[in-house]
Amino acid sequence: MFLVFVLIFTLIFSRPILASDNIFGLHLTQPQDINSAHLIINSSNGDWGWTTIVIRTDQLDRQTWQDFFDNCRKYHIIPIIRLSTKSENENWKQPDESDIDNLANFLDSLNWPNEERHIILFNEINHASEWGGELNIKKYVDLSIYASKKFKSLNPDYLILSSGLDLAAPNDPPKFMSADNVYKEIYSYKPEYFDNIDGIASHSYPNHGFVGLPSDTGQHSVRGYQWELDFIKNLGISKDFPIYITETGWPHHEGCDKKNGFYTSVTTANFLKITLDMWAKDKRVQAVTPFIYNYPNTPFDHFSWVDKDEKLYTEYQQIVDMPKNKNTPIQTTKYEITKMYVPFIIFNDTQQEGYITIKNTGQSIWGETKFCLQPNSTPNVTIDSLCTDDNKILPNQEKTFNFKFKINKLANYQKETYIGWQNLSTFEIAPFDKNATIYHPKINFLDRITSFWKAVFSGKIPL
């Protein structure tokens, strides 16, 4: 019985993660940045690249975030959403279960652009300033387990990623805790934490001081994620984790204070290009979203890819020009009937015309690829397939299909007659007489009269 429970739990709360052929992305500051950043993310033949963005508990505007997801869908961007709270007493407020509930319910109310839904559980919890002014790893673990179960109870497609750690932080309580001590405390307190996350969000910066080289190795390098994986394994965790490098990069001279940038943008862009090539060869790395696309003001102006006029530093064009691959994320295709018309009187063995309006209730955009619904009618009915043209039908939009059908007289066919298409409700057509020479839609009398006059006024039936 216990083994059965474990199997069921595994099927419900874990899922295989699709391999990433295109790791490239950008870390965004604000949702509207997607309108320009997508040109970089999917440049040079790339498709379905990545973006990391922060959502705060005090910025849960439904229209803003649905527009962002809709733009991700339109531009073919896979979002990684990092949970956050709000600023409080010069710290980030420590979340509680109600914050988790609000964020989870809000995000689940939105139509995501693809099935896999990536969630990062907060940020650099080994900085007291990021966790309510204290180092409280046990509280983080408890909330992480709660958050994982909450999100997955709403939808098993959520992929829960750990908080990115500052891998260069000293072990200096009460302000800082080193990454190794964070992992040790997590494992000592509740090792099941690792069962409740699906991947590692890593801040693999070229530390110390962001001046490391692409060739450096170890905990404080752009290969810091390798140290994290090895350290977790050595603790006793056998689970293999995919890596999402959601922060990385070198600060450049260009900015408000040139002293804060140790390299020119020529050098930082070249370093990043070299490192992206290295990361792309590691199959454990799913995504890389360098910090940060558009932040030309202090304190992150030296990491910004664009200047105060939101123009890309020309040196970063070499990264735009890098050949990129295509991801093929799974999207849910769903639809429902909103209207349907067939003639009030249907003659046997005679071609008839009707129309049906279907609403796109899924994630995919009809028309980007061929969308066709094949007939699902009884054997005595010949009916058209429903196929889109080149016009794109977005989620929540409707498409009206005209179709032709004919009820064929089959020898000894005495069963009920239906017209319909795959995954849609069927529509019964009933004979007026026992000889089955004339049919009518099987609806009540009032609906028949209403349908008839609607058809008249729409011009379908002339008086």
Using a pLDDT cut of 90, give the percent of the chain over it. Answer: 83
Q: % helix / strand / coil in the chain, to the nearest 5?
A: 30, 25, 45
pLDDT of residue 269: 96
- At residue 13 the predicted structure's pLDDT band, cuts being 50, 70 and 90, is very low
Dihedrals φ, ψ of 245, to 5°?
Answer: -85, 95
pLDDT of residue 285: 98
Question: Does residue 459 sit in helix, strand or coil?
Answer: coil
pLDDT at 460 over 60: no
Q: Are 160 and 119 in contact (CB under 8 A)?
A: yes
Quote the CA–CA distance of 127 and 357 in Å, as a whole number. Answer: 54
Residue 443: cis peptide before it, omega within 30 degrees of 0: no
Q: Are 51 and 28 in contact (CB under 8 A)?
A: yes
Q: What amino acid occupies position 54?
A: V
Quote the CA–CA distance of 394 and 70 in Å, as a whole number. Answer: 9
Quote the CA–CA distance of 206 and 222 in Å, as a whole number. Answer: 5
pLDDT at 463 over 80: no
> Domains in the chain, start-ordered, CATH in brackets?
18-320 (3.20.20.80), 335-457 (2.60.40)
CA torsion through residues 202, 204, 207, 210, sign: negative
- At residue 376 the predicted structure's pLDDT band, cuts being 50, 70 and 90, is very high
Radius of gyration of the chain (CA): 28
Q: How many helices (H) and strands (E) does the chain have?
A: 10, 20
Longest dimension (CA), the chain: 93
**Nearest 10 degrees: Cα torsion 264, 265, 266, 272:** 120
214: CB partners within 8 A, 6+ apart: 206, 222, 271, 274, 275, 278
pLDDT of residue 12: 45
CA torsion through residues 262, 267, 269, 274, sign: negative
Residue 299: cis peptide before it, omega within 30 degrees of 0: yes
Q: What amino acid occupies position 456?
A: V
CA distance readout (Å), 64 to 48, 76, 270, 307? 21, 18, 35, 24
pLDDT at 431 over 50: yes
How many Cβ atoms from other residues are within 10 Å of residue 257's Cβ? 11
- At residue 435 the predicted structure's pLDDT band, cuts being 50, 70 and 90, is confident
H or E segment to which residue 285 belongs: strand 285-288
pLDDT of residue 451: 54
Quote the CA–CA distance of 28 and 201 in Å, as a whole number. Answer: 16
pLDDT of residue 17: 72
Mean of the per-residue pLDDT values for the chain?
91
CA atoms within 13 A on the CB side of 360: 21
- At residue 9 the predicted structure's pLDDT band, cuts being 50, 70 and 90, is very low
CA distance readout (Å), 344 to 181, 223, 429, 450? 75, 70, 10, 10
Q: What DSSP line would sit under 161-230, residue for residue?
A: EPPB-BTT---BTTTB--HHHHHHHHHHH-GGGGGG-SBEEEE----STT---TT--STTSTTHHHHHHH
More confident residue, 6 or 102: 102
